[in-house]
Amino acid sequence: MYQDFNCPEKERVNNKIRDLVTDIFKNKAKKALILDGPSMTTFNTLKQVMDPKNITIIERNCSTVQQQQKHVHGNVFYGSVANYLDNSTSNANIFFLDWMGSIFGNRSTGDFPLESMLRILKTSPHRQLIFAATFCNRGVTAVEGESYFETCRDELEKALFRDAQYRVKESSTMTYKRNGSGAHMVFFLYVLKKSTNIDRSLCEYMLTEDRK
Ligand SMILES: C[S@@+](CC[C@H](N)C(=O)[O-])C[C@H]1O[C@@H](n2cnc3c(N)ncnc32)[C@H](O)[C@@H]1O
């Protein structure tokens, strides 16, 4: 189970997303889809700049859901991101998918971030999106000897966004170690614009055979 603890980098990434939401969407409609922990740091940060009724949290851990439901009613989906996408198409225009594992996925947890993010982007009705995600290099052997940060960025920008026909308008990134030790976390924040003339032949997913 995910444990929240005081992490200044997490606070910074949430504040970055909040500030970008204000800059980009100003008075436009805002709808967010997020992964959050028991302390609901992301929810509490985003609600400073948007209506909390328009924030949906997906959470697969039962006791975390119970904590979250003490504060929000109706907008917590109990299940995995993949379950959520099987049941509904997201019409959010702000995403913070704060994954706890590798971008390539994990068979034991059934999490496949690239597949889920592609489903989200390919079915999005919005021309403009704020899209943030964090990945962790725990258990990743497929990119040994390479920079995990660069691999994640290529998977997102040279594959996923091109495949879904979104162009990067703005981006910002951050890498950090959780609790100052342990696994590397890589955070990406994008403003994406729909662009239907992107050449999909430029879209090349790497390492599809070697995902771990
Ligand atoms: C890293 S924490 C989110 C932290 C929060 N965004 C913050 O800034 O403090 C990720 C949360 O999402 C849940 N989670 C992780 N992967 C998930 C998935 N594939 N489907 C549903 N919930 C997931 C975890 O149980 C955890 O509570």
Q: Is 61 in the pocket of ligand 1 (CB under 6 A)?
A: yes
CA angle at residue 10 from 4 to 12, to 5 degrees?
Answer: 150
pLDDT band at 116 (very low <50, low <70, confident <90, very high): very high
Top pLDDT among 124 and 89 is at 124
Q: What is the pLDDT of residues 172-212, one digit of tens each?
A: 999 988 765 677 899 999 999 999 999 999 898 875 444 44
Q: How many domains does the chain have?
A: 1
- The atom of ligand 1 lying closest to the CA of 37 is 27
Give Cβ neighbours of residue 209 (< 8 Å, ≥ 6 apart): none
* Residue 210 is assigned to a structural domain of this protein: no
* Residue 124 is assigned to a structural domain of this protein: yes
**Range of 7-11, 47-51, 100-104 with top mean pLDDT:** 47-51
- CA 201 to centroid of ligand 1, rounded, Å: 33
Ligand 1 mutation pick, 11, 60, 136, max ligand atoms within 8 A of CB = 60
Average pLDDT over residues 53-58: 96
Average pLDDT over residues 54-61: 97
Please report the pLDDT score of residue 210 as a whole number. Answer: 47
Average pLDDT over residues 25-51: 96
Average pLDDT over residues 160-173: 97
How many other C-beta atoms are found inside a 10 Å radius of the C-beta of residue 124? 22
DSSP helix/strand/coil, 21: helix
* Residue 207 is assigned to a structural domain of this protein: no
Containing domain of residue 165, as a range? 8-202
* Residue 1 is assigned to a structural domain of this protein: no
* Residue 69 is assigned to a structural domain of this protein: yes
- The atom of ligand 1 lying closest to the CA of 34 is 6
Average pLDDT score, the chain: 89
Q: Is 80 in the pocket of ligand 1 (CB under 6 A)?
A: yes
Please report the pLDDT score of residue 211 as a whole number. Answer: 47
> How many whole angstroms separate alpha carbon 122 and alpha carbon 208?
19
* Residue 212 is assigned to a structural domain of this protein: no
* Residue 178 is assigned to a structural domain of this protein: yes
Contact between 94 and 64 under an 8 Å Cβ cutoff? The reply is no
How many other C-beta atoms are found inside a 10 Å radius of the C-beta of residue 50? 18
- Whether the model clears a pTM of 0.85, i.e. scores above it, the answer is yes
* Residue 75 is assigned to a structural domain of this protein: yes
Say if residue 143's pLDDT is above 60: no
Please report the pLDDT score of residue 142 as a whole number. Answer: 55
Q: What is the CATH number of the domain that holds 144?
A: 3.40.50.150
DSSP H or E segment with residue 125 = none
Average pLDDT over residues 135-148: 70
